[in-house]
Amino acid sequence: MKPLQPDTLIRNPTGVPIVASVVVNCHARRLWNMVGQFTSFDVFIPALSHIETIGNGIGALRTKFFRDGNRVVEQLNSRDEHAMHMTWTTIYNTLGVARLWAAINVDALGDKCSRVTWTIIAEPVDTTQVGFEQFVQGFANSALDNVRRLLG
């Protein structure tokens, strides 16, 4: 019998990045303080009822609880407070997403103007699913439009 070898189910997705971006009339640090908090996406995504986290910093896990009963577990891969960007990976979900990697970053466009960009690369469980990219794009667009309403 062959000895067990290291393995993992976590693999980066492949595909075309889905990008959502909005310009907000506020200081970049204020924008980052909203979208750059891994544990607080429920502040700007109304579909979330709450978030529970395990751990702090890189490697922390968050479980996003959706109002419709769905759940998503994600791990924080990187976060740079000074550069205002972070990345994470979905490791479990009930939404039909096989793999998902995401990044969010904030850029200052002036003293009271900034841009948030959310990049997502995702693969559906059902590769024949129609409208998956449009669903992901719509979700990200809606979340960032809400950020602009809350801060703009």
Q: Quick check: is 11 in a domain? A: no
Q: Quick check: is 10 in a domain? A: no
pLDDT value, residue 29 = 97
Task: Enumerate residues 6+ apart whose C-beta is below 8 A from 58.
Answer: 76, 77, 78, 79
Tokens standing for residue 37: 């908090």
Q: Quick check: is 5 in a domain? A: no
pLDDT value, residue 129 = 75
Instruction: Give the domain CATH number at 65.
Output: 3.30.530.20
The answer to whether 54 touches 61, Cβ cutoff 8 Å, is: yes
Question: 42-45 long-range CB contacts below 8 Å, 24 or more apart?
Answer: 43/150, 44/143, 44/146, 44/147, 44/150, 45/143, 45/146
Q: How many domains does the chain have?
A: 1
Structural domain of 100: 18-151
pLDDT value, residue 144 = 98
Query: What 3-state class would DSSP assign to 130?
Result: coil
Phi then psi for residue 150, to 5 deg, are -70, -35
pLDDT value, residue 128 = 76
pLDDT value, residue 123 = 93
pLDDT value, residue 137 = 96
The pTM for the full model equals 0.92
Helix, strand, coil percent content, the chain, rounded in steps of 5: 20, 45, 35
Chunk the chain into consecutive blocks of 10 residues (it has 152) and report each block's average pLDDT, rounded to whole numbers: 87 92 97 97 96 97 98 98 98 93 97 97 86 93 97 88
